[in-house]
Amino acid sequence: MTQTPPLPLNATVAVIGAGTMGAGIAQVAAAAGHPVLLYDNRDGAAEAALTAMNTQLSQRVERGKITDEAKTQLLARMTPCQKLADLAQAALVIEAIVEDLAVKQSVFTSLETTCTPDTLFASNSSSLSITAIASKLNDPGRLAGMHFFNPAPVMKLCEVIAGLESRSHVIDTLLATARNWGKVAVRANNTPGFIVNRVARPYYTEAMKVYEEAGADIATLDALLKDAGQFPMGPFALTDLIGQDINLAVSQTVFASYYQDRRFEPSLVQQALVEGGLLGRKSGRGFYDYRDGAEPKYPLTITPGEPPKNMIVDGKPGLWQPLIERLSAAGITVQPGDPDKSAAMTCEGLSLKLTGGCTATTQARRSGDPNTILFDLAFDYASTDRLALSPADGSNPEAMATAAALFAEAGIQCSHLDDSPGLIVMRTVVMLCNLAADAVHKGVCSAEDADNAMKAGTNYPAGPIEWGERLGLKTVIQVLNELEEHYQDGRYRVSPWLKRRSA
């Protein structure tokens, strides 16, 4: 099968919109070697964007990131334009303007009468339907989505979105071109949120749900997802950075677009912040307080008690086997227990188990061990320095201190979660996996593209499906089923694709 080539480097690329995103896309195309036309309908905006780009690139030269010659050549390829007619000979026009359907439609209908019939059109829209944007064109097949992530020169991902009538040649050319520009380019069919904004919703909403239920404070939840889950930022700090209003608006759009599917339900806590004008870093307060003199928030850590000297390990630890090795290396005597029992660590009368999705109280009732403590998922048990622990109701008050002391021997701090089903890292990961699987099931993207998009677009330590398979898809399904049994609201229903894949 012949592979579609990218646009040749002598082909002119035009970008409409000289804001942060448009200027960034223009810089990416120019850095790849294309002549680039930058247009904005605001007087002087294109010229101002190039001036700012010159300053930013000069700083990179000073830091030794690029050469002065490379900067000069890049800027020489950039031309500010005064009117749409100046874009007539462009081979590709990328629109990066306000998220308003009527405005975007008007721009592309004007371009259709201005550019050649062979000119490809792309919209950088992050939330609007590509099919709807193209619907006013005489030839809607020439338009597709090219969704870059901010800042475009830094972020690796580009989602190429096929509208209902986008021609396959257009999609293939845009994919090849984005890859030629050094991007991780993934293909998505037109659907609300595309890949990343659809699949990523649980990263924010699961933590907010645990917080709403008084499972833990925000600093502790952020620390657990960052330290144990190895996500680059905790969800509360991240939404403060994005802007609570922007993040909530995306959640509300996706929720409404999927006809109030509970898997995408936004958070009332986040809505309250937006209503109060607490939008995050840009307003000085959000989940955290960024004002001068504000008291910082730190994760809560359980004070360890007296560490046990011995423990018994039942069953097959599997994923958390490195914990056993760390504890043994720290001088804890590890004795093998019953190989036919479910995997657990027993010491000083308490039973420590990896969360399976139910509450610790439910687990204690099922096993008959009142002093049951569940520990959370970690991306890498061999290196993690923090874990969440959740005790069963009615367990010995000293049990948590004993468990924290055990893990402290291996260099792991423990944070207390109230008896929350699935704790925080586990429930977040299985929900990310479930929504990625559902995107594959609905034909939005391939499993490979779902994983690549989340790694390149959000810097997750692993793709959601890849992570789920590492955990074991039967375990993922078990945790989801337990969560659904607990809440009984349809939010945690298992994707049919997961069921098929696990079988």
Positions annotated as catalytic residues are 126, 147, 159, 197
Alpha-carbon torsion, ordered 191, 193, 197, 201, to 10 deg: -90
Distance separating alpha carbons of residues 261 and 490, to the nearest angstrom: 8
Q: Residue 37 contacts by C-beta under 8 Å, 6 or more apart in sequence?
A: 12, 13, 14, 15, 79, 81, 86, 87, 90
Distance separating alpha carbons of residues 495 and 263, to the nearest angstrom: 11
Distance separating alpha carbons of residues 462 and 481, to the nearest angstrom: 23
394-410 burial by CB neighbour count: b if 16+ within 10 A, else e? ebbeebbbbbbbbbbbb
Distance separating alpha carbons of residues 140 and 486, to the nearest angstrom: 47
Q: Residue 455 contacts by C-beta under 8 Å, 6 or more apart in sequence?
A: 184, 462, 463
Distance separating alpha carbons of residues 325 and 400, to the nearest angstrom: 21
- Do β-strands 157-162 and 143-148 pair in parallel, antiparallel, or remain unpaired? antiparallel
State whether the Cα torsion 186-191-196-199 is positive or negative.
Answer: negative
Extract the tokens encoding 392.
């069963």
